[in-house]
Amino acid sequence: MENETKINSSEKIVNFVQKNKNIILINFILIISVLVGISYFNYYQNSKNEKISEKFVQAGIYLSLNKQEESKKIYKEVISSKNKFYSILALNNIIDNDLEQNNEEVLELFDIVENIKIENEQKNLIKLKKALYLIKISRDNEGKKLLDEIISDDSIWKEAASAISKF
């Protein structure tokens, strides 16, 4: 009795596979294609990140050699890449080292970085830095408006924004 059940089960499986071999083959090819696509996408992202990190390091080397123009150009390329990590660092280096003298250009770089898909707290930190920059260039009203946004957002940067807005 058990043998008959096993034979029936195996026959059912064989019959099912024979009847649906085209569908099974298509699904198998589809699964393989998706896996290859995901692997290629990961490879592409890693390669892109490596190139951006190399550019960032190169800009830092130029900066240490007092080649500010070359460094600024590369940092701007890094910011334009909209990399979640290196774009923010590149903007910080441009501001900290006064590489860009045109205030409007710096504000455009802030806008690029603000439009990167990052966590809300990172965006608030960028807003805080932008507010400080706006206050530095005597655009106090715009800076205080950003500080108020951070405070009303109940961010972890709320205390810092409150302390700055009191000045």
pLDDT attached to residue 1:
45
pLDDT attached to residue 19:
87
pLDDT attached to residue 21:
87
pLDDT attached to residue 2:
52
Measured N-to-C along each axis, helices 158-165 and 140-152 cross at an angle, to the nearest 10 degrees, of: 150
Q: What is the pLDDT of residues 72-93, one digit of tens each?
A: 999 999 999 999 999 999 999 9
Which burial class, exposed, middle or buried, applies to 113 when counting CB atoms under 10 A from its CB (0-12, 13-18, 19+)? buried
Ranges of the chain whose pLDDT falls below 50: 1
Which burial class, exposed, middle or buried, applies to 92 when counting CB atoms under 10 A from its CB (0-12, 13-18, 19+)? middle
pLDDT attached to residue 14:
85
